[in-house]
Each structure stands twice: as structure tokens, then as C-alpha cells.
Amino acid sequence: MKRIAFAALLLCAASCKTPAPGSRTVSIPGHGAISVQIMPNPIVAKPAGGNNYDFPVDVIVHETGGRGVTVSRVTATIYGPAGIRLGDQAWDQNQIKAAGFPTNLPGNGEVRYHFVPRHSVPDERLFGSVRAELRVDAYDDTATPTSSTTTVSITR
């Protein structure tokens, strides 16, 4: 009985662990799939006056499944010390198009999006423990969804 209780406790502790930084891709075999790369890595914050900083970043999306896909959303979620969610920002398909970027990728194609979000940072000490999770959502010509997520650090 003690072994079962210990195994259950160990399983519970393992499932509560925060995911490690890195890349994750969700796709279905035989359909469109994507991977994402962030440049620069780490993202370097640039002072923009007062407490404001620009966070220039290129999000490079690769189609890896051999079928064309349409990017529907790019989302950046910022986490601070101890994994506390500090905020997020998203660009939908219409906003990406309005910025002059294509949303359709051919099979095995690539597109690069350049974003420069500006945010207030009340305490510069946050830069030592902040990370960004960037997720790209897309779908192929059969409306099958795919996504890719990667985590990068942010410095000053």
C-alpha cells in the first residue's frame, strides 16, 4: 500500500512540474506542419524613453509537413520570476496582413515576421528573470490545425 501511495505522490509531483523552456510542435501526420525560430535569441530590449522598451523580434515560420499552410495567429506570452504570467500580445491573421506580411506558406516554405512591441518595464531588475513564449498557430488546406511554440529569454 505504501508503494502505491508513494507512486501516486511521485506521479502527482511530476505532473505539476512547469514545462521546461524549448520548442514544441503540434501537428497531425500527412497534414501541414510548422516549426518556429526566434531571432535574436535572446530578445534584446531597447530603451524607448522613460520606462518604455522596444522588443524587436523576428519570428521565422517554416512549413515542415510538405503542404501549404495559412498562419492564423502569433502570440507572445511573457513570464517573470517563478513563472508568473506578466502579460501577452497577439497578432491575428488580419493584423499580420495589415503589417504587410504574407500569411500563406507553400509546402516546405518559410516566412519571416518582424515585430517591435513596445511595453513599459517598471523595474529593470526584471530583465534577469523574464522569458517569452512565442506560439504560431496555422491551418492547412483541409483546415487541419497545427502550432509551434518556443521559449526565449529577454535581456537588456
The domain locations on the chain are: 22-155
Q: Please tell me the pTM assigned to this model.
A: 0.79
Of 29-33, 61-65, 81-85, 105-109, minimum mean pLDDT range:
29-33
Q: Are 68 and 105 in contact, with CB atoms under 8 Å apart?
A: yes
Grid look-up 497545427 returns 146
Q: What is the pLDDT of residues 34-51, one digit of tens each?
A: 999 999 999 999 999 999
According to DSSP, residue 22 is labeled S
Give the separation between CA 68 and CA 106, rounded to whole angstroms.
4
Q: Are 126 and 102 in contact, with CB atoms under 8 Å apart?
A: no
For 22-155, CATH number? 2.60.40.10
* 70 DSSP β-pair partners: 104, 139
Write down the pLDDT at residue 15: 31
